[in-house]
Amino acid sequence: DLSLMQQITHNALMDETAEIQAPAGGVPNTFVDGRNALFLLYAAIYAKSRHARHLITGVCETDFSGYPDCRDIFIKSMNVTLNLAMDYDFQIHTPLMYLTKAQTWALADELGCLDYIREHTHTCYHGVAGGCGECPSCVLRERGLTEYLAGKTA
């Protein structure tokens, strides 16, 4: 049995020696259970201290790689939970929820920030700005970009 700390840190995101694995029909070993619940809780605590009521997250159910905490039902549940737990009316916004990766790239282009996002952001499991091009997250991101650019020139 792994200790509690080993259970929390024994994944490819927290252990740089772990080999990234993405089994068919399952979530990659880079998935960290509860991460979006934790992120939204921290965001809510900060937002309430600033008297803000709107939280925005980039989760996406359309091609979410099977992550349960990226589903709309989870976000809606978390919204209710935060409102009850903190006795404060938050509204969680998910502008990317039903967009494909190609549609997300199209939105970035429409907003005039396509190049910035390509060069300065990442979803890379290795933390490489612009992406490593090989991990499952980079492959998914690049596939969406390629699809968007192909449709744009057609």
**Residue 83 to residues 34, 39, 47, 48, 154: CA-CA distances in angstroms?**
18, 15, 12, 11, 46
Sketch the domain layout of the chain as residue ranges: 1-20+29-98, 99-154
| CA quadruple 79, 81, 84, 86: dihedral sign | negative
In the predicted model, what is the mean pLDDT of residues 126-151?
87
Summarize pLDDT for 7-58 with one digit per residue, the tens: 666 666 666 666 777 777 777 777 777 889 999 999 999 999 999 999 999 9
Q: How confident is the model at residue 6 (pLDDT cuts 50, 70, 90)?
A: low
Identify which has the larger pLDDT, 4 or 70: 70
Residues 130/118, Cβ–Cβ less than 8 Å: yes
Per-residue pLDDT at 149 exceeds 90: yes
**In the block, which residue shows the tokens 């159910």?**
61
Q: Determine the pLDDT at residue 21.
A: 73
Question: For 1-20+29-98, which CATH class?
Answer: alpha beta
